[in-house]
Amino acid sequence: MSGPLEAKVSQLSEDELAALNADFEGKSPQAILQWLSDHQDRTGGPVPLVSSFGADSVVLLHLMSGINAGYPILFVDTRKHFDETLAYRDQIETQFGLTNLRSISPDPAKLKAADPFGALWMRDADACCDMRKTVPLDLAMDGYVGWITGRKRYQTAERATMAIFEHDKGKLKVNPLANWLAKDVADYVSNHSLPGHPLIPKGFLSIGCAPCTSPVKEGEDARAGRWKGQDKTECGLHVAKG
C-alpha cells in the first residue's frame, strides 16, 4: 500500500480509511491479523485482540496464536461470567501457548458502591455493562490506539454494514472476521479440531455474562439469547459514541 495510507491508520481521514478498507475487503482474516502484527509502525502500536472467550472466540485466538503467540490479548472479566467461560479461557491460553493474555476487571470499590448486591443487571443493564465492561476496557485501552474484535456482519442488523477498519471514539477498531458467515466459523473450528466453549452443546450459541445469556432454540438467531426480552443487542463496547 502507498499514498495516503502511509499515515498511521488511527489518524486517517474517513476517505483514507475507506481506501484502506477497499484494500483489505477481499483479504483473509489471517492476512489482516498478520498485517496488524507486522505493521505496528502503521497502526501506531499494537492493536490488542479483545476476546470474550465466548462461542466463536476460538477462531481469532487460534489464528493469532499461529501468527504471534505473544500478541496482546485482553479479556474483560465482568465478574459475571459463567465458570465455564473462565475455565475455557485458561484452557485456550495453555493450549494455544498465549503468552500475553491479560484479564481486566471493574474496580472493586466502584463495584461495591454501585452494585453492592450484584443485581444491577436486573434494573439497568446498560449501567451494568458500562461499569463492568466499557469503563474497564476504556481504562485498559489508554495505552493502545485501537483493538481487534470478532464481530461479523451476518450477526445483527447493526453489524451488517460495518467495515473491516473503523474509527470509534477516537480509537481504531478492526473486524477481521467481518465477512465470515456462521458456516465459515464452524468449518474453521472443525478443520482445525479446535475446542468449543463447553456451553455450546447446551444451546448457548452466543455467550456473554451468565445472568444475561440464555440458550437459543433450534433455528433461532445465535444472538437471540443475549439480553432476552430486552431491546438491548450490544453491551456498549461496540456502540459508537460521539
The catalytic site residues sit at 235
DSSP 223: G
E strand or H helix that includes residue 148: strand 146-148
238 near ligand SF4 (CB under 6 A): no
36 near ligand SF4 (CB under 6 A): no
As given in the structure block, the three cell numbers for residue 58 are 476460538
Give residue 92's region: left, alpha or beta (phi > 0; psi -120 to 50): alpha
129 near ligand SF4 (CB under 6 A): yes
Binding segment toward ligand SF4, per CB under 6 A, in 50-58, 146-154, 174-182, 207-215: 207-215
Closest CB to ligand SF4 belongs to which residue?
A: 209
Show contacts with ligand SF4 in window 97-126 (CB under 6 A): 121, 125
50 near ligand SF4 (CB under 6 A): no
Question: Of 9, 72, 74, 80, which one interacts with ligand SF4 (CB under 6 A)?
Answer: 80
x/- map, 218-237, ligand SF4, by CB under 6 A: -----------------x--
Q: Give exposure, 116-131, as e/b (b: 16+ Cβ within 10 Å).
A: eeeebbeeebbebbbb
59 near ligand SF4 (CB under 6 A): no
In the block, residue with C-alpha cell 472467550: 53
E strand or H helix that includes residue 65: helix 57-67
